[in-house]
Amino acid sequence: MFFAGLQDSGNLKYVRGDMFEDVPVADAVLLKSILHDWNDDECSRILKRCKEAISNQHKRGTIKKVIIVDMVVMDSEKVNEENSKTFETQLFFHMLMMVGLTGRERGEEEWAKLFCAAGFSDYKIIPISGLRFLIEVYP
Ligand SMILES: C[S@@+](CC[C@H](N)C(=O)[O-])C[C@H]1O[C@@H](n2cnc3c(N)ncnc32)[C@H](O)[C@@H]1O
């Protein structure tokens, strides 16, 4: 809804909409720095709309997925001298999301629960640069 009215360019098209109501049909949906803004119920609603969006596309040979770029908070038992600053930064962001918004940063177990609640069957976590991870979620 917030980009409504912007001019399209090349292969980029802006679509008006509210992700809680509807996500346009697609092979894949990318959610970058989105889900950490929202609580579990809100995330579940967004993810269900995303699942519908990729399930309504019937092109053969394409792998349907939701791609999430967000943090995966490290397991506190794995914190050591080398990675403690990363962990502290993740917790800082966690507080920021809880204080300023309804969201939170999530560890793998919390992500897995969300995906399961929204009806997805599997996921894969891929570390990328810095604090962020890429999570592929499959219907
Ligand atoms: C933290 S920003 C992330 C923006 C961008 N993905 C990035 O990584 O820089 C959250 C985005 O969610 C969008 N947003 C918030 N509520 C929305 C809704 N109900 N439907 C669609 N987009 C929404 C905001 O407009 C904003 O662009």
- Does residue 80 sit within a domain? yes
- Does residue 82 sit within a domain? yes
Report the separation in Å between the CA atom of 2 and the middle of ligand 1, taken as the mean of its atom positions: 8
Determine the 3-state secondary structure of 123 from DSSP.
strand
Choose the catalytic residue: 36, 64, 104, 106: 36
Report the separation in Å between the CA atom of 61 and the middle of ligand 1, taken as the mean of its atom positions: 30
Global pTM value: 0.92
Name every residue whose Cβ is closer than 8 Å to that of residue 73 and which is 6 or more positions away in sequence: 87, 90, 91, 94, 105, 106, 107
Range of the domain at 122: 28-138
CATH number of the domain where residue 45 is located: 3.40.50.150
Domain count, the chain: 1
Give per-residue pLDDT as tens, 87-125. 999 999 999 999 999 999 999 999 999 999 999 999 999
- Does residue 42 sit within a domain? yes
- Does residue 100 sit within a domain? yes
The pLDDT-based confidence of 58 (bands split at 50, 70, 90) is low
- Does residue 108 sit within a domain? yes
- Does residue 5 sit within a domain? no
- Does residue 4 sit within a domain? no
